[in-house]
Amino acid sequence: MIRSSTPITALPPLPPPLPLAPPPTHSSSSSLNIDIALTYHPDARPSTFGGSNALGVLLSGITIQPHASAADGQVFVVEHEAGDPLDPQTWSVRSRIAATLLIGSIAFVVGVASSIDSAVVKEAAREFGVSEEVETLATGRYLVGLGIGALFSGPCSETLGRNPVYVGTLTLYMASIAASGLSPTVGAQIAFRFLAGFFGSTPLTCAGGSIADLWSPVDRVYAFPVFANAAFLGPVLGPILGAFIAQSEHVSWRWVEWTSLILAAAVLVAVLLFQPETYSPVLLRWKSHHLRALLGDDRYVAAVELAGDTFWTRLRLALYRPFALTATEPIISLTALYLTVIYVVLFTFFDGYDYIYGRVHGTSQVATAFCFVAIAVGLFGATALAPLVYRWARRGQLEKGDGPPPPLLPLKPEFRLWYSMLGGSVCIPVSLLWMGWSSSARVSIWSPLVASVLFGYGILCVFISSYLYIIDSYESVSASALASVTLVRYVAAGGMVSAGMPMYEKLGVHWTLTIMGGLAALMAPVPYVFYYYGERIRGKSKYINGK
């Protein structure tokens, strides 16, 4: 329905119903063949349009706003109407699930590449004639690239849309992976692995926005764990694929790159064929463009076109704002520190599992890699919490009282912390201390494996809570907030990958995991602090609620 920002004191009589005939052709759009459904509302009254605006009464989802750029000082802002098929949240559940799975598959292939090289460190170091510590830089620099690339992928997706960024960066990612596989020297391999990480960072910052495009805040309780599982399963399953390649007598160690390339190519084809654009500002820009062409009136615009921010303005803000958020926002800085501890532990496990299982229990390289399956089991265990949290979310939105049901209440961001508080944050330090002090030849191998299940449960719970809490808290700048958290944790994890092997060698399994478990224990209260004091902390933020 048309809404006007200026009051109308006298309304003319209702016009007779108009037939939904094709609009008159104009010279500016005669070559276009665009089918847009126009909905006539019998109770609509013509607004103070004038000129070529007669068809305006037929369109819902249009708001009149004053603007100096228009000839008569008014523009018609195109918005989503009720049941608008362009609104991603009105799509069928099947379509939205398929889109979510495709987004998760991008995160999966990027995650596989982050860890698959760790299984062939010895073979690659032998061919290049360098130490194993130097070869681990191929994994470390990939992680650093993921962190730095996150600064750029967010503003690109908010300017160009989600799909062009997914397709473009995935293509460049594949080219970098191929170049890494063909590298004649370790220096070239490390450089191209960095570029692969840089271009592969897109799902780390854009996926949260894509899921918010598709699902309502309550439905994200189910939808986001799907992406989170894919994001963690990639790094967890990568060493298993790499171990089979390292042990094979028929293929070179470089097949870790070719495997990553094949997986990425399959996902790219699926995205090109089946993934729709989900970013509403871009969809509304397309809609306004079509309306301008159909009606011959340049005053139909989308809100994003009125903002006037150029891509370079967005990029400049994106490069500055993550550092400002980290320095000034306690929620961002503590969340970044918490996830950094988790990611450092996870990525040092790529070398650490060889000490925990291979050297202590004598498992083969392939059997050691399969020990990562225990973490995957824990990931699925965390997902099992979704029905319980969803039930609480629905109950929290209902306001009790007599009379007709009131509108659903919005969820507070602190509700997202329940995943962490349901044992997730506590399980991480417990699992690390358990794993560290039960890694002995006199203790069954099942003891550290069960501890690994707890670790997988804990990291997914904390990851889900952290991402959803930031998205809900920093709605308008959530892309910059996620970029900040991504930058800190991946750069730190990339730096620690090379230090992981010396730590296990010099300190041993017991004390290495004791130190990491102690750090995780220091961070365990963070979700509880945010749950009780988060609203007060958010109230002082200049980035929240337009402050």
Q: Which tokens go with 149?
A: 């690339």
End-to-end CA distance of the chain: 31
Assess whether pLDDT exceeds 80 at residue 184: yes
Same domain, 465 and 429: yes
Average pLDDT estimate for 221-243: 91
Q: Which of 375, 341, 503 is nearest to 448 (CA)?
A: 375
Q: What is each CA distance from 144 to 79, 148, 193, 264, 392, in whole angstroms? A: 39, 6, 10, 20, 38
In a domain, 212, yes or no: yes
Q: Which tokens go with 289?
A: 């463009």
- Decide if 55 contacts 295 (C-beta within 8 A): yes
Average pLDDT estimate for 68-78: 72
In a domain, 73, yes or no: yes
Same domain, 438 and 481: yes
| Predicted pLDDT at 242 | 93
| Predicted pLDDT at 234 | 93
Same domain, 510 and 528: yes
Same domain, 205 and 65: no
Using the structure block, give the residue that is written with the tokens 């004091």. Answer: 533
| Highest mean pLDDT pick, 58-62, 123-127, 438-442 | 123-127
Rounded-to-integer distance, Cα 299 and Cα 71, Å: 9
- Decide if 39 contacts 263 (C-beta within 8 A): no
Same domain, 286 and 338: no
Same domain, 78 and 216: no
User: Which domain-ending residue is among 289, 307, 325?
Assistant: 307
Assess whether pLDDT exceeds 80 at residue 210: yes
Q: Tell me the β-bridge partners of 64.
A: 4, 76
How many domains, the chain?
A: 2
In a domain, 18, yes or no: no
Q: Domain range holding 97?
A: 91-277+310-398+411-532
Rounded-to-integer distance, Cα 170 and Cα 148, Å: 16
77 membership: H or E segment, kind and range: strand 74-78
Burial 446-461 (b: 16+ CB within 10 A, else e): eebbbbbbbbbbbbbb
Average pLDDT estimate for 462-477: 88
In a domain, 41, yes or no: yes
Rounded-to-integer distance, Cα 261 and Cα 543, Å: 40
Percent residues over pLDDT 90 in the chain: 46
Percent residues over pLDDT 70 in the chain: 84
CB atoms within 10 A of CB 286: 14
In a domain, 166, yes or no: yes
Work out the mean pLDDT of the chain and round it to a whole number.
82
Same domain, 346 and 460: yes
In a domain, 108, yes or no: yes
Same domain, 338 and 290: no
User: Which domain-ending residue is among 290, 307, 324?
Assistant: 307
| Predicted pLDDT at 402 | 47
Same domain, 323 and 425: yes
Average pLDDT estimate for 161-188: 94
Same domain, 223 and 108: yes
DSSP 22: P
Same domain, 98 and 194: yes
Same domain, 182 and 301: no
Q: What phi and psi values does residue 78 have, to the nearest 5 degrees?
A: -85, 130
Assess whether pLDDT exceeds 60 at residue 48: no
| Predicted pLDDT at 14 | 36
Q: Which amino acid is at 452?
A: S
Rounded-to-integer distance, Cα 284 and Cα 546, Å: 23
Sign of the four-CA dihedral 503, 507, 513, 519: negative
Q: Give the domain CATH number at 469.
A: 1.20.1250.20
Q: Which tokens go with 158?
A: 């908010």
